[in-house]
Every structure is written in structure tokens, then in C-alpha cells.
Amino acid sequence: MSGTFFGAIADDFTGATDLAAMLSRAGVPVTLRIGVPKGPETATAFEVVALKIRTIPPEDAVAEARAALKWLRGQGARRIFWKYCSTFDSTPRGNIGPVADALMSDLDVDRTVHCPAFPENGRRVFMGNLFVGDQPLDESPMKDHPLTPMRDADLQRLLQPQVQRQTGLIAFPTVRAGAGAIRDAIARQAGHVVVDAVEDADLDVIAAAISDMELVCGGSAVARPLPALWAEAGELNRGENEPAPDVSPGRIVLSGSCSAMTRAQVGAYLDAGAIGYRLDPRDLAQDGVRDARAWLAAQDPEADKIVFATAEPKVVQAAQEALGVTRAGTLVEEAMAVLAQDARAMGIGRIVVAGGETSGAVTRALDVDRLRIGPEIAPGVPWCFAGNGSALALKSGNFGAATFFADAFSLLDKGAAVAAR
């Protein structure tokens, strides 16, 4: 079977790589597009379009998502996935609900499911409430997110004000009753149906129940079982992944995320001996990125180094109060974009980026429009290979262990050593 079978639209770049990693686990070739391609392309069976629409005005998010859907359907996609974060990152006005509504209208479907659960990373949905680890979403560190502070754990209550259709719930007992029970429950409802999941086994059952749905919404984990189900049904051929290319050994971490996990990761990397440079939005507003560029130019390309705007919530809040939320974020993103270009000019081919907004800024600055998915560093975070010989790891703020940055470079080093034998 030729052409695209599965097409996904992701609301940020790290979320797109997260989904692509889940699909790649099944051994299928996955192409990640940075933004909507401008015309027909040579497409793989699994196409993921990464957008940067999580916090833009809802009407703009809807327009970009619709453009991505049009392109995917033009490539032949018969299954569409609306990918958002497993912590349901959303402003009060959207954009999760408005985009889901628009996709339903364009696809002419009267129901879809929402399943953000990612048990492997500690995200579980029980009786419609989202948990991060052992904490309800609104009691987790996500309550202090600088752009999308989450103040409720009830997904129906979060979703209903954002959508024009009704919301519903398929609760845990129904999920445990099996795929048939889930299908029957979906058939009895219309609109946006939230589905509970607390273990990977739940996702396997849910995937079996929804594999023939034209539109699915949620986190990446529920997509993991789908390629095998479609292959077993004879709907597609798996294909094969290509081997990882050679990448120059120069390395850098660019961290704009201020999540609790990223703060721990930055601290661990510095404690392990990495050289660091901290960006402060207030300094950038006054002096620009000149000093940071001079610092980077003086570094050994192959040394462990990190440029970070990562800071505690109180520090972030102080910068936002001084400059405004939008300007503080934009200053950091623009600085990271310039530093990424400088790093590439220095021959640095391995770049780890932490944070969705930072990832968007960096990939665009490097003029990357297509990525091939490589080995997974941590659940939901793969290395991605660009056509220009660069390797990028685009990490969602909360993903990965404390040693993630060192782990990422170690994985590529091991791959290079094996290839050299």
C-alpha cells in the first residue's frame, strides 16, 4: 500500500516527536514535518505534522490545524490523530477543544475520543481526572506552568467550555470490561468522549476499540499499539526504519523549559561537569544575545555545554512581571534560535532542546522542515535526524530522567561506536 495511511497534527514540536517515537517503536518508518509542507511531497505511511499552536489565539490554531489536515488528506491519510500534551496543556480558551471541533467538522464525524494518558511517564486518567504521578493535575507542578497553568484535573470540565459539542466519559470499569464494551460505550455517545487509562494494558484495549475511528485525540501513548493492529488487519505494510546516519560529535543543550523535571536535569548536567551559561530575559532585553554568543564561540564544540533559561517559578514570574509574559518568552526563544545557528556554524551536529516553544524556535532557525525518527532516549523522546546532517532531540519539559542530557549524547556515542566496528 502506497501513500500516507496515518496523519497526525501536533500542537507543538516536542509533542510531535513524542508521538513519532511511539509510532517508531512499532518498527514503521515515520516522517516528522516541521510545519505544513507547501505542496505534495514523497510521503511515508506515517506522517506527523508539527505545529506551534498550543498557546496562540484559538482561531489561528484552528486555521493552521485545518491546513495540516488538508495536506495530510491530500497525501491519502485515512486515520487522523490530534496530538496534544499528556498533561492537557491548554489556555482556558483552548486550543485543544476548538481544534478538535474543527477537525470533526472537516472530517464530518460526530464523535471522537480523548485519551491523554501516558502511564509510562506517570500520566493516568481515572474517572475523568488526570493525574501526574500521584498528584491530580491541578496539584502537580503543572499548576505553575508559565504559559498554561493547569488549575483543574477534571478533563470533561476543562474541555466542555472549549467545544461546541457535548463531552462524555468512558470510565475505568468500562475500559476493564474490554474493547467491545468500549466500542459500545462510544457508539452510545456523541461529541468528545474522554477515556480512562491507568496502565499500558488499558491503552492496548482502548486502541483495539478505536483503531477504525477516523479521528482520535490525545497524548501519544494510545497511538503506540495502533500500527500493529492495522498491520494485523491487513490495512498497511510496516516497512522498515533506516539506520542512523553519521553525525558530527559536537554537542550542546539548549534549555528553555522551566518545568520541575527540566530544572532537575539542568542541575544534574551541571553537577556532572557540563559548562553552563544562563540566559535571563531581563538581560536579553537590555543587552541582547551578544554575551551569550561570545561565550559559545569560546567553547570547545565537543565539550559538554548547556545554555539555559531554566529557572525556578519565582524567578520566571519576576521576569514576566518586568517584561510581560509574551516578551519574556519571545526574548528567550529568539536568543536560542541565534545560538542554535551559531552552534551549527561551529560544526556542532548534536543538539538537545528542552521545551516545546524553544524547540519550535530552534528547528525554524536551523531551517529544518523534515526529520527522520531515530532511537528513543527516554519514553517519548527520540533522536531525530535532519537532512543537513544534524541530530536533534526535542524534549518536552517534563519528560526524561534527571540524567537525560548525558543519556542522550551517550546513546548517540554508543551508536557511532557500534557502526565503526
Domain of residue 345 covers: 250-420
- pLDDT (average), residues 241-264: 86
Q: Please tell me the total count of domains within the chain.
A: 2
418 — pLDDT class (breaks 50, 70, 90): very low
Burial class (CB in 10 A: 0-12, 13-18, 19+), 233: exposed
SS3 at position 164: coil
Length of the chain: 421
Residue 271 CB contacts under 8 Å (≥ 6 apart), including other chains: none
Residue where one domain finishes, among candidates 202, 232, 262 = 232
Residue where one domain finishes, among candidates 232, 263, 297 = 232
Distance of CA 44 to the CA centre of its chain: 20
The conformation of residue 56, written as its DSSP 8-state character, comes to: S
Q: Looking at the domain assignment, is residue 240 inside a domain?
A: no
- Within this chain, do residues 224 and 358 fall inside the same structural domain, yes or no? no
Q: Name beta bridge partners: 353.
A: 254, 394
- Within this chain, do residues 254 and 381 fall inside the same structural domain, yes or no? yes
Has residue 224 got a pLDDT over 80? Answer: yes
Identify the residue with better confidence: 414 or 252: 252
Whole-number Å distance between alpha carbons of 81 and 214: 8
Neighbours of 2 (CB within 10 A): 8
Has residue 238 got a pLDDT over 80? Answer: no
Phi then psi dihedrals of residue 215, to 5 deg = -135, 125
Whole-number Å distance between alpha carbons of 12 and 140: 21
Grid coordinates of 228 = 500493529
- Within this chain, do residues 177 and 44 fall inside the same structural domain, yes or no? yes
pLDDT for the residue numbered 392:
94
Residue where one domain finishes, among candidates 175, 201, 232 = 232
- Block residue for cell numbers 557511532: 416
- Within this chain, do residues 92 and 210 fall inside the same structural domain, yes or no? yes
Has residue 249 got a pLDDT over 90? Answer: no
- Within this chain, do residues 171 and 267 fall inside the same structural domain, yes or no? no
For the stretch 46-74, pLDDT in tens is: 999 999 899 899 999 999 999 999 999 99
- Within this chain, do residues 297 and 394 fall inside the same structural domain, yes or no? yes
CATH number of residue 181's parent domain: 3.40.50.10840
419 — pLDDT class (breaks 50, 70, 90): very low
Q: Looking at the domain assignment, is residue 245 inside a domain?
A: no
- Within this chain, do residues 189 and 315 fall inside the same structural domain, yes or no? no
421 — pLDDT class (breaks 50, 70, 90): very low
Q: Looking at the domain assignment, is residue 275 inside a domain?
A: yes
Grid coordinates of 28 = 514503521
417 — pLDDT class (breaks 50, 70, 90): very low
Grid coordinates of 395 = 524534549
- Within this chain, do residues 325 and 182 fall inside the same structural domain, yes or no? no
Q: Looking at the domain assignment, is residue 114 inside a domain?
A: yes
